[in-house]
Structure 1
């Protein structure tokens, strides 16, 4: 009976009074039909019993209908408020339909971050950097602001993310801040917001201790002793050989762990690392000393001689960086694997008269001065070969000559 009376009230008269509906009627109406409320707003009840809000409105001279949402989710008061806002926007020459489409299309911060991650992925130096970008956001950012629309994230929200880790995990916090900023710049470029809240948050955060923390390195005169300890240890043969090759070639851990047999010419005693795996993004040739060649022959005898030189325990996965680190620490040396490069560099500086350019090339460092780099075309390969043989002689206490082992 209530449905019928309310229906007559809104269908017989040509005029529709303001705020004609009641909250009680909206909750209980079941008869299919359209029930007007004012401001072009009406409640539409389908034969299925579903109830939804619709508004008839003139947008730039054209009559249109805008859906405002289900009556079970949007209250009468909320529907009226939305209808008034739509009318105001339309009268000002705007398009409420377009505004609604844009609002619905707007991504959350997490969705935006993942999109930015995919866009930038091909430009990062390696897969590790790409993974770190998204993993730090997953750990520290998404739990707090991931579900917010990217347009709604405020400086206070960014501050809420950074404050708990700003002093305790300072380097990580700076990277999280930078990555939030990258996501926000993309949102600004797309017209989804006018500002980058990551830029404004700096003044609200306390000053960090920016004293550089260098990786722990073993004094170069202790490295021969370390190699003796390594050789006598009960660690896996492959792991021991990988670490020894890292030290002999003054390489980064990842350069050895990810090495592929296709990169080696044992006849010539040359290891050619592809640009895709180098920090400098340039192909790099490494001269192999006699012991380095022996290591590779030993490793090849342990496997198939194809694919990864130092495979891990999981199929098609390389030896992990943690495996090498744990081995060093387990032998009683509180140093980093990367620190052996420092040991090599210090030895070069103190025990040889090797030109700086040659030792930097041995470490595969990039020439930072652009003008100098434009003219520096040599990789000092033969000079580096002699240097690496001298390094091997120092480590094992004997004189050696270049005698590449012929590949079997």
Structure 2
């Protein structure tokens, strides 16, 4: 039987469960109550709230029950359907006036294809996630003011200025993306916030580099000290950045050449090119020795299944009392080339995967100078190891050192 209840009966009946029929119930308590719809689908009994007696009349409750009952008859679960409708409505609200956190994610998703390793390697959102979103992330972008941005950046503006500038630049990009979407936000607020934060003269401190004259002694001290030390030696011999060396895999070695994938390179034109690195004899020997420890990564990490960590490299240098840092090996190499006039500018810069010349010059000069770099890196290896070795010239002939 349907429609058992009346408005008068509801008013005069005490607390308890009142049944209207066809799955509609009123759970009454004191002067209020709540409507529920009970149904069974796929042999599963479920109970769905339809609102309170204060806001939903008997007639409205019956209409709602009939709507959801019709879905049950079609095999649709009302609770799941209601959740889907609410999620769609939330997405619509979020897109029309998202929070700063939501807009950050929308803009990041639009940009990540053009970022290195889709923004994961550089942790593109990290400055915002750590310093900005905890403070203003839940504010709708239309409500954010210049003062909100200023106050969020103020704690790190002088103490962590480089990080603050990164966060400010990300804010600009996010607000600019919002404006392009037609949202009520102003990217110029980032510039105004920067003005209000005041001038800050940041004196950058270069990464400490081991003087090239001390590299042979350091290389020798690293011998036999484990995976991290071997990785540091490999970095010295190849002049490749930490990220490229730490993630090096045996599958990337082709004869006496190491092909570093584009996603572990920095500074290459377009950041989409693999980079060929000529491996001198000591570097090849390290690869051969490390093959007894791992099948995938040349320098495997102990805590993860990936390559060794930056922390492990730094710790090894600290134990040796070496002030220079891993990235500084590139400076050591480049200074050695310059001081000893070991190679031309183009060869030395290409060995470091740096751009040379302007865009027009690069469009014509597309050689990676691999043969010249191979000679240079053999010379470097002879210096680093202190050993005499034949150098291979461009025609493949052995020459005396």
TM-score range, shorter chain: 0.7 to 0.9
Structure 1 segment 4-403 matched on structure 2, within 5 A: 49-52=52-55, 105-126=96-117, 132-196=123-187, 197-231=189-223, 235-236=225-226, 238-266=227-255, 269-279=256-266, 280=268, 281=271, 282-304=273-295, 307-367=296-356, 369-401=358-390
Would you say the 8 A contact 1:289–1:402 is kept in 2?
Answer: no
Query: What SS class does the counterpart of residue 311 from structure 1 fall into?
Result: coil
Superposition deviation, residue 391 in structure 1: 0.6
Whole-Å Cα distance in 2 between the matches of residues 351 and 309 of structure 1? Answer: 32
Whole-Å Cα distance in 2 between the matches of residues 344 and 48 of structure 1? Answer: 73
| Alignment: residue pair count | 316
Would you say the 8 A contact 1:389–1:402 is kept in 2?
Answer: yes
Whole-Å Cα distance in 1 between the matches of residues 93 and 50 of structure 2? Answer: 31
* TM-score, normalised by the number of residues in structure 2: 0.72
Superposition deviation, residue 258 in structure 1: 1.1
Instruction: Write out per-residue CA displacement over residues 61-115 of structure 1, whole angstroms, 9 at most, x where no aligned residue.
Output: xxxxxxxxxxxxxxxxxxxxxxxxxxxxxxxxxxxxx9xx758852211111122
Structure 1 pair 155/52, CA: closer, same or farther in 2 (3 Å)? Answer: farther
Whole-Å Cα distance in 2 between the matches of residues 121 and 172 of structure 1? Answer: 20
Would you say the 8 A contact 1:113–1:183 is kept in 2?
Answer: yes
Would you say the 8 A contact 1:290–1:402 is kept in 2?
Answer: no
* TM-score, normalised by the number of residues in structure 1: 0.71
Would you say the 8 A contact 2:141–2:185 is kept in 1?
Answer: no
Superposition deviation, residue 139 in structure 1: 1.0
Superposition deviation, residue 325 in structure 1: 1.5
Would you say the 8 A contact 2:34–2:51 is kept in 1?
Answer: no
Superposition deviation, residue 127 in structure 1: 5.6
Query: What SS class does the counterpart of residue 344 from structure 1 fall into?
Result: helix
Instruction: Write out per-residue CA displacement over residues 196-228 of structure 1, whole angstroms, 9 at most, x where no aligned residue.
Output: 221221211121223332111111001111112
Whole-Å Cα distance in 2 between the matches of residues 327 and 224 of structure 1? Answer: 16
Whole-Å Cα distance in 2 between the matches of residues 293 and 263 of structure 1? Answer: 13
Superposition deviation, residue 341 in structure 1: 0.2
Query: Which residue number corresponds to residue 35 of structure 1?
Result: none
Structure 1 pair 31/297, CA: closer, same or farther in 2 (3 Å)? Answer: closer
Structure 1 pair 49/264, CA: closer, same or farther in 2 (3 Å)? Answer: closer
Instruction: Write out per-residue CA displacement over residues 156-210 of structure 1, whole angstroms, 9 at most, x where no aligned residue.
Output: 0110111110011010000001111111111111111141221221211121223
Superposition deviation, residue 51 in structure 1: 3.4
Whole-Å Cα distance in 1 between the matches of residues 235 and 314 of structure 2? Answer: 12
Would you say the 8 A contact 1:289–1:388 is kept in 2?
Answer: yes
Whole-Å Cα distance in 1 between the matches of residues 252 and 335 of structure 2? Answer: 28
Structure 2: runs of 5 or more not aligned: 1-6, 12-30, 36-48, 57-88, 397-401
Structure 1 pair 48/173, CA: closer, same or farther in 2 (3 Å)? Answer: closer
Query: What SS class does the counterpart of residue 272 from structure 1 fall into?
Result: strand
Would you say the 8 A contact 1:121–1:130 is kept in 2?
Answer: no
Would you say the 8 A contact 1:109–1:148 is kept in 2?
Answer: yes
Whole-Å Cα distance in 1 between the matches of residues 282 and 50 of structure 2? Answer: 84
Larger mean CA deviation between 292-301 and 316-325 belongs to: 316-325
Query: Post-superposition, which runs of at least 4 consecutive aligned residues in structure 1 deviate over 4 A?
Result: 28-32, 101-105, 127-131
Whole-Å Cα distance in 2 between the matches of residues 270 and 180 of structure 1? Answer: 42
RMSD between aligned residues = 2.9
Superposition deviation, residue 50 in structure 1: 3.7
Query: What SS class does the counterpart of residue 258 from structure 2 fall into?
Result: strand
Whole-Å Cα distance in 2 between the matches of residues 287 and 147 of structure 1? Answer: 51
Query: What SS class does the counterpart of residue 126 from structure 1 fall into?
Result: helix
Would you say the 8 A contact 1:246–1:256 is kept in 2?
Answer: yes
Whole-Å Cα distance in 1 between the matches of residues 220 and 279 of structure 2? Answer: 21
